[in-house]
């Protein structure tokens, strides 16, 4: 049986893969695993969602499942995923539930659980929840059933929290924020304004169906156009649940997650706040980031792809900053998970501190041309044992030397192998990647 949980919760097409009955069963199982008896205290869960239309019926299923097991539920409404994580800790809840499919299109939805303190679930807990699915249980009855309340303070509590993390205000900055017609549509513009910035908001009119549709961090053209049109100093883009942040500079040029990490890492080191002068990234981060950090005296620790693996390494080593090229940035001093609004605020604070634009700050690193080719319909399980492929990789690495990099990575969910090549020139990166892709097809096809 395939594992129900993916790298970031349970996700699928709402109504077909993610049904009301599955959501109900999953919520009951989660309640049985994540609640721990503490005297006479009733268990408590925080439930939030993004504005997808399907979130309405899925939220009802989650709430019904939790209350039927005797869990009191606080519904916080439409809020970013990191806000739900924060509120789980701030309200001393046993666990939190977020309904969102993040950057996916509107028909999809998903369920993410947070343990006490707003922490992401360990694999062992997810497996325990899966194992509890369908196991008969005695429902709560009478006075034992959970009570359901709505909280309208969540957005304010979260906004104060992220604003209190800033070393200074954003006065003098003109910023465009693209909310992806998602969960940050209200809180992101409000927080930026209260931080002192002049704010133009786009992608801030969710209707349940337009989330991530031609907007947000997966589609930056609208933000680039708006920044140039309004003569803004910078643009910030979130995804549907606002756990990501990408940016564009005053000219509309993209500033990706690697560049954001480089800026934040050097800023933190300069202020003496970068724990052990170390940054945590994934193997997919651009080689240019690693070369820049070496020059700045910052160590780089690599993990597998996925912000959960970045977070695990940060906790293991006690590090405070890490993230992914996609814009998942974790500031562990202020958040338990990737937080797009927090990231955007701190990036803009670096601009205000240095009185420099993003284009200038981004010069701390030079992105090497990176080519990624997905080779489908191959036996990905043989990739590690193919001598033909290993020989081709050695030849490519010898050609690139210290100025480039090769990464061959089987997909975690599909029958394909990903070929990634970085080189000083785009033409060389493309040529080497296509050559290796050809070897993958012949050796593993």
**Rounded CA gap, 318 and 108, in Å?**
35
Cβ atoms < 10 Å from Cβ of 334: 18
Residue 55, token pair as written in the block: 């979130």
Are the beta carbons of 73 and 67 closer than 8 angstroms? yes
Residue 87, token pair as written in the block: 């509120």
Cβ atoms < 10 Å from Cβ of 117: 15
Beta bridge partners of 247: 236, 255
Query: Kindly report the CA angle at 170 between 168 and 174, in degrees rounded to 5?
Result: 170
**Rounded CA gap, 384 and 113, in Å?**
34
Query: Which listed residue (27, 54, 100, 102) is catalytic?
Result: 102
Cβ atoms < 10 Å from Cβ of 222: 18
Residue 206, token pair as written in the block: 């969710």
**Token pair 């109504």: residue:** 15
CA 25 to chain centre: 26
Which residues lie closer than 8 Å to 232 by C-beta, 6 or more apart?
A: 174, 175, 176, 200, 226, 250
Beta bridge partners of 299: 278
Beta strand pairing status for 44-49 and 72-78?
A: parallel
185 in active site:
no
**Rounded CA gap, 206 and 238, in Å?**
14
305-330 burial code (b ≥16 CB/10 A, e <16): bbbbbbbbbbbeeebbbbbbbbbbbb
Q: Is 355 left (phi over 0), alpha (psi -120 to 50) or beta?
A: left
Are the beta carbons of 99 and 29 closer than 8 angstroms? no
Query: What do you get for the CA distance between the two ends of the chain, in Å?
Result: 26
Cβ atoms < 10 Å from Cβ of 132: 17
Torsion sign across C-alpha atoms 86, 121, 313, 255:
negative
Are the beta carbons of 183 and 100 closer than 8 angstroms? yes
Q: Closest Cα to residue 148, out of 212, 79, 75, 224?
A: 75
Query: Kindly report the CA angle at 31 between 84 and 47, in degrees rounded to 5?
Result: 25
Active site residues per annotation:
102
């Amino acid at each position: 049986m395939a594992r129900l949980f993916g790298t970031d919760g349970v996700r699928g097409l709402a109504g077909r893969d993610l049904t009301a009955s599955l959501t109900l069963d999953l919520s009951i199982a989660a309640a049985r695993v994540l609640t721990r008896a503490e005297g006479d205290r009733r268990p408590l869960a925080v439930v939030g969602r993004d504005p997808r239309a399907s979130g309405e019926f899925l939220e009802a299923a989650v709430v019904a499942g939790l209350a039927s097991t005797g869990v009191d539920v606080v519904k916080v409404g439409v809020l970013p995923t990191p806000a739900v994580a924060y509120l789980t800790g701030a309200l001393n809840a046993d666990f939190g539930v977020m309904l969102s499919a993040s950057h996916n299109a509107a028909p999809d939805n998903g369920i993410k659980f947070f343990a006490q303190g707003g922490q992401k679930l360990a694999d062992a807990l997810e497996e325990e929840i899966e194992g509890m699915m369908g196991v008969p249980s005695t429902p709560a009855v009478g006075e034992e059933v959970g009570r359901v309340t709505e909280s309208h303070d969540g957005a304010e509590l979260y906004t104060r929290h992220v604003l209190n993390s800033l070393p200074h205000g954003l006065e003098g900055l003109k910023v465009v924020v693209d909310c992806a017609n998602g969960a940050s549509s209200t809180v992101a513009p409000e927080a930026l304004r209260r931080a002192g910035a002049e704010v133009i908001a786009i992608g801030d009119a969710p209707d349940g169906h337009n989330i991530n549709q031609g907007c947000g961090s997966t589609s930056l053209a609208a933000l680039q156009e708006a920044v140039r049109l309004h003569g803004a100093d910078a643009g910030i883009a979130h995804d549907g649940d606002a756990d990501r942040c990408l940016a564009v500079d005053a000219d509309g040029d993209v500033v990706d997650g690697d560049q954001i990490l480089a800026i934040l890492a050097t800023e933190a080191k300069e202020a003496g706040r970068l724990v052990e002068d170390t940054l945590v990234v994934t193997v997919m981060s651009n080689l240019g980031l690693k070369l820049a950090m070496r020059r700045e005296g910052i160590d780089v620790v690599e993990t597998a792809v996925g912000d959960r693996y970045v977070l695990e390494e940060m906790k293991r080593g006690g590090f405070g900053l890490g993230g992914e090229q996609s814009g998942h940035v974790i500031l562990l001093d202020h958040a338990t998970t990737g937080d797009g609004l927090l990231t955007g605020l701190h990036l803009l604070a670096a601009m205000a501190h240095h009185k420099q634009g993003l284009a200038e700050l981004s010069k701390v690193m030079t992105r090497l041309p990176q080519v990624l080719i997905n080779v489908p319909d191959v036996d990905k399980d043989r990739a590690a044992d193919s001598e033909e492929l290993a020989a081709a990789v050695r030849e490519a690495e010898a050609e690139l030397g210290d100025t480039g990099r090769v990464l061959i990575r089987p997909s975690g969910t599909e029958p394909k192998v990903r070929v990634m090549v970085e080189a000083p020139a785009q033409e060389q990166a493309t040529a080497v990647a296509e050559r290796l892709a050809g070897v993958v097809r012949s050796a593993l096809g």
